[in-house]
Structure 1
Amino acid sequence: MSFTLQVLFFLSLPFILALLILSYFSSSKSVKNLPPSPPKLPLIGNLHQLGSSPHRALQAMAQTYGPLMLIQLGTVPVLVASSVDAAKQIMKTHDLIFSNRPHLNIPDKVFYACKDIAFSKYGEYWRQVKSIAVLHLLSNKRVHSYQHVRYDEMTLMMGKIRSANGSPVNLSELLITLTNNVVCRVALGRTYEGRKFKNLLERLMESLGGFSVGSYIPSLRWVDRLSGLERRADQVAKEFDEFLEDVLDEHVNKNMDNVEARDLVDILLEFRRDNAKGFRLERDMIKALIVDIFSAGTDTTFTSLEWATCELLRHPRAMKELQKEVHEIGRGKSVIAEDDLDKMPYLKAVFKEGLRLHTPLPLLVPRESTEDIKLNGYDIQSGTQVLINAWAIARDPSVWEDPEEFRPERFLNSPIDYKGFGFELIPFGAGRRGCPGIQFAMVVNELVLANLVYKFDLTLAGDEGMDMTETNGITVHKKRPIVVSATPCS
């Protein structure tokens, strides 16, 4: 046996040497200086180190390996950026090279082979649908035109709180219902209330938040099937498709005499009929855009509003400061109007601080490099996936004083904003792939919170205090709902 092994070794030695020489020359040509990397295991790489809160795990790893580190998730090399400068290099200096999206199995199922804006590949198709969204769906004029929808839904929510007469109210439930209804009315023309529709939205977000082993280790895609992840994603995609088919049929057949009452589906169908500039907006594309609006418009809007409210309840001094501001602006009005919001710097500071501490998508949406590039002295290969740890950047002690503290005042005399022009606070991303719906989301948030604290004094119901446990997934929610007692302000 020993002799046989020796013979085999000597026979294979030329091949081993040839492979080593080939590997040396190919690696020296393609990659000269890789970013620092933590040790990895065969096959799975660093997957086992991510745990249930990848943004926290990656923050801890970056403290050892630096603000630009290279990890291996299965067969996929992943560059992780955890500093303001690293984020700026990726989303501004070299934004074009890092504007692609990697192929991910679950979004591919849910968004009609990624025909949406968020997950579609960078190129002409993405440019066309992004242009449609920015010019026709999310422009300042269009967002303003749905002001009555926001007022209607806010008034309904306030009425429900008032009718509780001081009894405990599940505020989280009311906030998510409000954001769902606003998005439904704006996108589809009417609300779709009931447990079935709400459950469909919940399962959509659960599917998107599930970790797909097959996206990173193709040979182990059977694990996704065994765990039920693919089956659940297929089922929710099928049910959402059936729902959207009915919505589209309903819109195709409805009377459009009232141009002012057009919703987003009407606008997309009109664009399809006009076939503007030769770009054909197919039925699946329209459905993908609508799913995009629901997943981003509902989930991240509600999450931001819930966390900001949560922090105010935990910090009574900040709550009193905000109430003082809104009452000074309100001056006895029946409602805080949207025109009043720009006069409220503390309100805006509360949301900035809430977004800083509780970034809705802590790692944003993954990017992918399209070319070999030198980044801060490191060689990054084409096809490398990129994660930007916006959550870690927002808690970087070299940028923020007392980064774990909720202190809205830090933004009162600061130029830092969340709109993607600076990189200290990037909850909505930045550059070409930044979120185009920032204004749509934040006007809902500001209007609701301003009126909530204008009309009611809120206190936590019960004696247990605020549970700050987070959920796992692509969007980080508060795990347990906010239950409050609400007393009308005198």
Structure 2
Amino acid sequence: MATSEGDGNDSQCPMLSKTLSGPSQSLLFGNLLQIDANTHLSWTKWSKEFGSIYKVSFGPMGNAVVFSGVNELAAAFEPESENDNTFSDRWRPPVLEKIGYAGSISWENWLEGAKQRKHLMKEVFRSMDIEGLLKKEVDAVCDVLSNKEQVDVCELLNQANNNILLSLTLNRGDRYEYNDDEFKILSEVITSNHNRPVIASPMNYVQCLWHTPLYNTMRRNYKCLKSTLQPYIDSHRADFDSENIRDLIDGYLGGIEETSFDVQEAIDHIKFLFPPACSLRVAMQWVILFVTRNDDVQKKIQEEIDQVLTDADEVNDEVVTNKMPYINAVIKESLRLATPVVQLIPHCAIKDTNFKGYEIKKDTIIIPNLWGPNHDPENWVDPFVFKPDRWLNVDNLPPGFMPFGSGLRKCDGYLMSMTALRILTATVFKRFHLKGVEGEKLPSLEDSFMLVGCNHPNHFNVIATNRH
């Protein structure tokens, strides 16, 4: 893959400015009709022709610049750098103006509220027993694996992911049983609009469509969401204790220094938290799928577990992190090969800047493509082959691996997600041997599909056999 010259934030001298190239575009729709449903494949294909930084047109929504090289991404989002600050805002498509984005840590500009909300979430997580919460959820996953003849892994981990998010946001750190009616209603209501595109929404191009029946269901779903979540805010207000922050709603009610928000904004925070948080669900699905597809990998995981833990020992994150390098390698390789977050939520330049010799104007849309660098043969030998062992020699690894982003807008749940992946992988394969169902083909990377900005595997069933 071509790599642009220069490093970091280049001089403002006009002589250094280079012209951004990109695919040819139509007058009305720009490049919109040329972009694949799996957008990351288009970004990666064009980077081979136009280089690691190039321009595309979103038609009436404006122009965008795609960053598709490992060096470019590292320079753009290096923590505490000038570039990271320059590209820290969000581009918001017109449909978000109708839905309402205030309260959204994902879509607010950095200084508009996202910085404070990130601090709030960090402090809420710090006040909670995150590892204990995750262990309970993984135990529930194992109960299902143990008690059913065969299990739809994607559906099971979808339920687990929803439960984790509900525990963090509104259920005071507790979990629901999967057959609980309240859990089913909350899961359905909160995720009701997840299959509806935001960036590719037709209303972004013809804004009067918002008032047509085409968007009746979306408007109705968001109204239902607010009415469903309001009682949880009211009940939290009734038993709130600033010395005991139990979840996100408590954080909004007070007790977190340097933050001051209307508690009603917690509804919008939760509304917009679930879509990007599907990255954890998808990452868990890919890890289970890759290990189930590769029996030699599964055996090596179990050998490592058996060397470190006895049958009676409980899995804990510190032990997995420090004493199980192969499990950590499997997780990283799964995140690289599948790249659950194939592209970051679009960023936006807060000012005119010269980056890598290219003039980028204020408000330009920035598309960070993570898929491209993770599958670049210049970075990785056999980039489309699952090889966990490549991670065991850190000296041979290319720089810039960022499965959940980097810098100011890095995923707020990154550390929790990595903990969840370690506990899930070690616990499931300590207790079970997983295999596919006879006569059913396990999906592959080629079968994946895009939804809510994440790369999903197709649904698959497994049979879990107790090891002990």
- Under a length normalisation based on structure 1, what TM-score does the superposition of the two structures give? 0.83
Alignment partner, residue 221 of structure 2: 236
Is the 1:209–1:473 Cα contact (8 Å) retained in structure 2? Answer: no
Distance 1:477 1:80 in 2: 19
Aligned pair 1:36/2:31, yes or no?
no
Taking only the aligned residue pairs, the percentage that are identical comes to 21
Q: Aligned-pair distance for 1:436?
A: 1.9
Q: Aligned-pair distance for 1:389?
A: 0.6
SS of the residue aligned with 1:472?
Answer: strand
Please list, as runs of the form range in 1=range in 2, the aligned pairs for 1:54-453 lying within 5 A after superposition.
54-75=39-60, 76-92=62-78, 94-110=83-99, 112-134=100-122, 136-139=123-126, 142=127, 145-164=129-148, 167-189=149-171, 190-191=174-175, 193-194=180-181, 195-207=184-196, 211-215=200-204, 217=205, 220-222=206-208, 228=214, 230-254=215-239, 256=241, 262-271=246-255, 276=257, 280-297=260-277, 299-342=278-321, 343-414=323-394, 424-453=400-429
Aligned pair 1:476/2:454, yes or no?
yes
Is the 1:207–1:232 Cα contact (8 Å) retained in structure 2? Answer: no
SS of the residue aligned with 2:194?
Answer: helix
Q: 1:83 and 1:178, CA in 2 relative to 1: closer, same or farther beyond 3 A? A: same
Q: Aligned-pair distance for 1:364?
A: 0.7
Alignment partner, residue 11 of structure 2: none
Tell me which amino acid in the other structure corresponds to 2:64.
V
Deviations 1:271-292 (A, max 9, x none): 3xx8x55x53113322233334
Is the 1:209–1:472 Cα contact (8 Å) retained in structure 2? Answer: no
Distance 1:231 1:348 in 2: 45
Is the 1:79–1:384 Cα contact (8 Å) retained in structure 2? Answer: yes
Tell me which amino acid in the other structure corresponds to 1:426.
M
Distance 1:171 1:296 in 2: 20
Alignment partner, residue 440 of structure 2: 464
Is the 1:78–1:386 Cα contact (8 Å) retained in structure 2? Answer: yes
SS of the residue aligned with 2:359?
Answer: strand
Q: 1:122 and 1:255, CA in 2 relative to 1: closer, same or farther beyond 3 A? A: closer
Q: 1:320 and 1:296, CA in 2 relative to 1: closer, same or farther beyond 3 A? A: same
Deviations 1:184-204 (A, max 9, x none): 123212446444333224323
Q: 1:40 and 1:293, CA in 2 relative to 1: closer, same or farther beyond 3 A? A: closer
Distance 2:213 2:330 in 1: 40
Distance 1:399 1:483 in 2: 33
Q: 1:416 and 1:99, CA in 2 relative to 1: closer, same or farther beyond 3 A? A: farther
Unmatched 5+ residue regions in structure 2? 1-13
Q: 1:153 and 1:446, CA in 2 relative to 1: closer, same or farther beyond 3 A? A: same
Distance 2:273 2:208 in 1: 31
Q: Aligned-pair distance for 1:442?
A: 1.7
Q: 1:87 and 1:264, CA in 2 relative to 1: closer, same or farther beyond 3 A? A: same
Deviations 1:29-53 (A, max 9, x none): 9x96431111100110000111211
Distance 2:378 2:52 in 1: 12
Unmatched 5+ residue regions in structure 1? 1-28
Is the 1:213–1:224 Cα contact (8 Å) retained in structure 2? Answer: no
Is the 1:33–1:379 Cα contact (8 Å) retained in structure 2? Answer: yes
Q: 1:184 and 1:350, CA in 2 relative to 1: closer, same or farther beyond 3 A? A: same
Deviations 1:303-324 (A, max 9, x none): 1000111111111111111111
- Under a length normalisation based on structure 2, what TM-score does the superposition of the two structures give? 0.86
Alignment partner, residue 4 of structure 2: none
Q: Which moved more, 1:49-58 or 1:285-294?
A: 285-294
Larger-Rg structure:
1
Distance 2:187 2:114 in 1: 29
Deviations 1:372-430 (A, max 9, x none): 2222222211111000110111111111111111111111122699xxxx963222111
- CA RMSD, aligned part only? 2.7
